Amino acid sequence: MYRPFIKLVILVNVFGLLTCKREAEIGHPVILVPGDGGSQLEAKLNKSSVVHYLCAKTTDDYFDLWLNLELLVPLVIDCWVDNMKLIYDEKTRTTSNSPGVDIRVPGFGNTSTVEWLDPSQASPSAYFKMIANELVGFGYERGTSIRGAPYDFRKGPHEQTDYFTRMKSLVEETYNDNGKKSVVLLTHSMGGVMALRFLQLQTQTWKDKYIRALVTLAAPWGGAVKSLKVFAVGDNLGVFVVREGVLREEQRSSPSLAWLLPSTNFWKHDEVLVTTADAKNYTVQDFEEFFRDIDYKTGWEMRKDVLSIANDFTFPGVEIHCLHGYGVNTVDRLDYGIGKFPDGYPNLIYGDGDGTVNRRSLEGCTLWQQKNKVYHQPLPDVSHMNILTDDRVIQYLRSLLVGKGRKIK
């Protein structure tokens, strides 16, 4: 979505497609699993009140909510924030839509709603489009041997029970519709850890039968420091006319953002992630205090809900192909000057990564390499979103799906 974890499609320029000949009969069918912001969302309204006179109270039918570029403009964006944000219930430990807002995820099983985030198919909203086109060039067919598994990316993994059930059925259906060939899960960003959680919930017998491999592009295995930045000041999604603080209310309300905070599996207990002028610092051990000090205690409640899942780095029991970029400036620490914390804007201290996810988190898959089923492919100077259009990724997929080799130069 460009939400915090997939540097906004609004910044993506999709260049000319590769011209690949159909080289061979396809091997294994593919299911595309998107990341944070990588699914279309539709809404229907029946509200008793609105935040701005420009906002609609009711609609006769569902309309495009994410990613509708027309809604991300000044004034109108206030309506969008109010419709998109989630309401947290501390008793049930779950979230719900704002009163009078019904949101659904269209296109499950198809590819159109993960290829394009704006149904108008405006070029800035292209997401899995290039990869899907290339798979068709290899001999794949949309809706049969290429499927899509969109989901409500705002929700945490503990709220995705229905999605995981539908995903299991989709894998089995795709397997049966393609001559009982096992399925490749091809994921981007948060989709990688969503797929990890899905696979952790399945039996080994089921995975041995139905899953050929998990291919991850830019997976945030251990979260990212950028999530702290979003909780603190927000993110403008690459829309330069929108202030980050305007979107913070909506972004903060997503349990998925709390899920992607830096993990103790990847950051040491004494590593400082946020510094302030009064020498008060915050590490992965201090998230409760951090949320209290930024006056957003709900953030800590949401983090507690997903903590056991975030810390579960159990090998998923399938072959893994882990591709990611590195060598791109990535937020490593937030440094607040005198009088800036918590309401001011921090200096962003950068380290290595793909521009969104820190390198140590991207390389998390290497911790499983003793399993002899993990293939790791780092790509220099490739950003979090550009990995979806990188020629070397296309070459890798070609080799894996219709060729014999795996390695790329």
Catalytic residue ranges: 189, 354, 384
Give me the DSSP letters along 58-78: B-SS-EEEET-GGGSSTTHHH
Residue 359 in tokens = 């390198």
Q: CB-based contacts of 121: which residues, under 8 Å, 6+ apart?
A: none
Over the Cα atoms of the chain, what is R_g? Answer: 21
What phi and psi, each to the nearest 5 degrees, are found at residue 398? -60, -45
Q: Using alpha carbons, select from 273, 379, 384 the residue that is nearest to residue 37.
A: 384
Sheet of 63-66: strands edge to edge? 63-66, 41-45, 101-104
**Cα 319 off chain centre by:** 21
Q: Using alpha carbons, select from 223, 186, 212, 128 the residue that is nearest to residue 322.
A: 186
Residue with tokens 């820190």: 358
Identity of the amino acid at 261: L
Q: Cα–Cα distance between 118 and 104 in angstroms, integer?
A: 15
Q: Using alpha carbons, select from 258, 308, 224, 293 the residue that is nearest to residue 7.
A: 224
Q: Cα–Cα distance between 138 and 399 in angstroms, integer?
A: 10
Q: Using alpha carbons, select from 95, 227, 226 the residue that is nearest to residue 156.
A: 95
Question: 63: exposed, middle or buried (C-beta count within 10 Å: 0-12, 13-18, 19+)?
Answer: middle
Pairing of strands 30-33, 41-45: unpaired
What phi and psi, each to the nearest 5 degrees, are found at residue 212? -80, -45
Q: Cα–Cα distance between 112 and 129 in angstroms, integer?
A: 8
Dihedral angle at the C-alpha atoms of 126, 131, 132, 133, nearest 10 degrees? 90
